[in-house]
Amino acid sequence: MKIVIIGAGISGISTYLFLKKYLPNPASPAEPHQLIIYERHDANKELKRQLYSKEATEQTTNTIAIGGGLGLGPNGLKCLERLDEALFHDVVRSGHTITHWRMSCARGWELASIGIQTEEDPPTNSVMIGRQALWHCMRQYVPDVAIVQKKISKVVAAAGQRPVVSFDDGAADIECDMVIGCDGLRSIVRKSMFQNEGDESSEKYPPHYEGLVGVGGFIPSSYLRDNGVKNGEMGIVFGANGFFGYGYNTSSPEGQSRNLPHETCDPGNEATWWSTYYLDECPDWRSIDSEDAKRQLIARHSSWRNPVIQKIIKNVKIDSLYPTWTTPGLPTWERAGLVLIGDAAHALHPSSGQGANQALEDSECFALLLAHHLKAAYLKPERSQQETERLAGEQAAKNYSNMRIPRIEKIHQRSAAIGDFKKPKNLVQEMLMYLFIWSMKFFRVDTHTRELTNYNVPSEVAKMLAASGAK
């Protein structure tokens, strides 16, 4: 099969690696599968640039353009471990193990300390890591020749025909057997999949602005350490006029177990922070008045009784705004040889903490399903190899879409409810929110969290195939 992956972000890289790991090649003399990633930016150049600071200092407390940190939960970490143990250890080593959320409020009250590890022995914790650090770890496992710098202008697909990919620079179109859209929130593949008949400029499922804006970035870990933040602790602070979070996202090079998510160790030099607030109309995030953004940050949080927050807001510089966009629920993630993975299929609310985790689950799930159906198809081939692989790909894509959509819908519903905590509240609403969060400490782990962290992609794929009677 000739498979085109559009996008060399976390979704695209993980999809490439999982397909490489699992896909069976057809019998000789047929050619092995061809996987190629198209990325509009120079991903090879990006690999060589140090876009994130491992040596954060008092003078470099600004937000970087590619965004701040992200959390990898036990479910995402186990995807990486099954993919490649060396990669898994690289990722854990590049982040900081998080064992619990310390939840408090703007009034200075401690509300709850919630453990977020799995129930196995030893437990698997979460890992906080810079987005660019995670990408950097994964990118090193993909050969440079697998990524081509080209901007895709259009993808055309029709039932029973091979998809056609067109390029922005006027280069000749290419045909392939499958196009996997890992091209994010404003996906060209999604737009092509649901394009209104005869109107190439339209988009049936455009991204939706959620009324929330975030600012954040990287800071010296001393801001947290000097104010009593413990190893493995993530600060989660709610208020009537917004939300603030902070945590370590690097580990000390001297930490003996820093490549394992079972224990925590001393932090490295870098930590991450973010603040989220309500704004009715989406701001122009391309043009930002840094001084005004800083004034607004201080105005929102100067009265919050938290020494870490006060240290951060006085010393950071704000260079970027991050409006919260989500993808509307889609009726399907596949059509006529096109498949959507990650944010292209489901840009989740940041409150879910599951963006990267679900992209990894998507990648592994689709690769396992495609591998299964190809193995079965090669045993009973059609008239041609192309037809054999096309039918196997269609079945795998349908299984993938049917399997993943219900899980994402549950996560979206839960995260939307949590996102409401970040919107403005009157006194009564504020106190009810605090009461709800305080009550969480009486429950070790809720059903939703258990469903998230204990999810095992290979087991779920096996269950689905068994239920469908697939051989």
Percent pLDDT > 70 in the chain is 90
Domain of 153, in residue numbers: 2-468
| 91: number of Cβ within 10 Å | 24
Containing 294, the helix (H) or strand (E) segment is helix 290-301
More confident residue, 319 or 102: 102
Distance CA 365, CA 144 (A): 25
In one-letter notation, the amino acid at residue 350 is: P
Mean pLDDT of all residues in 167-171: 92
> Mean pLDDT for the chain?
86
pLDDT tens column, 118-158: 777 777 889 999 988 999 999 999 999 999 999 999 999 98
Q: How confident is the model at residue 64 (pLDDT cuts 50, 70, 90)?
A: very low
Q: Which residue has the tokens 């770890």?
A: 137
**Omega before residue 283 within 30° of 0, cis:** no
Global confidence as pTM: 0.89
In this structure, are residues 120 and 75 in contact, taking their beta carbons and an 8 Å threshold? no
pLDDT tens column, 9-22: 999 999 999 999 99
SS3 content of the chain, % helix, strand, coil (to 5): 40, 20, 40
> For position 146, what pLDDT does the model report?
95
Closest CA to 228 of 128, 306, 149: 306
Residue 442: DSSP 8-state: G
| 211: number of Cβ within 10 Å | 16
List the structure tokens of 105.
């409020």
Distance CA 142, CA 43 (A): 11
Q: What is the CATH number of the domain that holds 240?
A: 3.50.50.60
More confident residue, 60 or 238: 238
Q: Which residue has the tokens 């009537």?
A: 240
Distance CA 425, CA 430 (A): 6
In one-letter notation, the amino acid at residue 169 is: D
Domain count, the chain: 1
Exposure string for 227-254, b = 16+ CB within 10 A, e = fewer: bebebbbbbbbbbbbbbbbbbbbbbbee
**Sequence-separated (6 or more) residues with CB below 8 Å from residue 120:** none
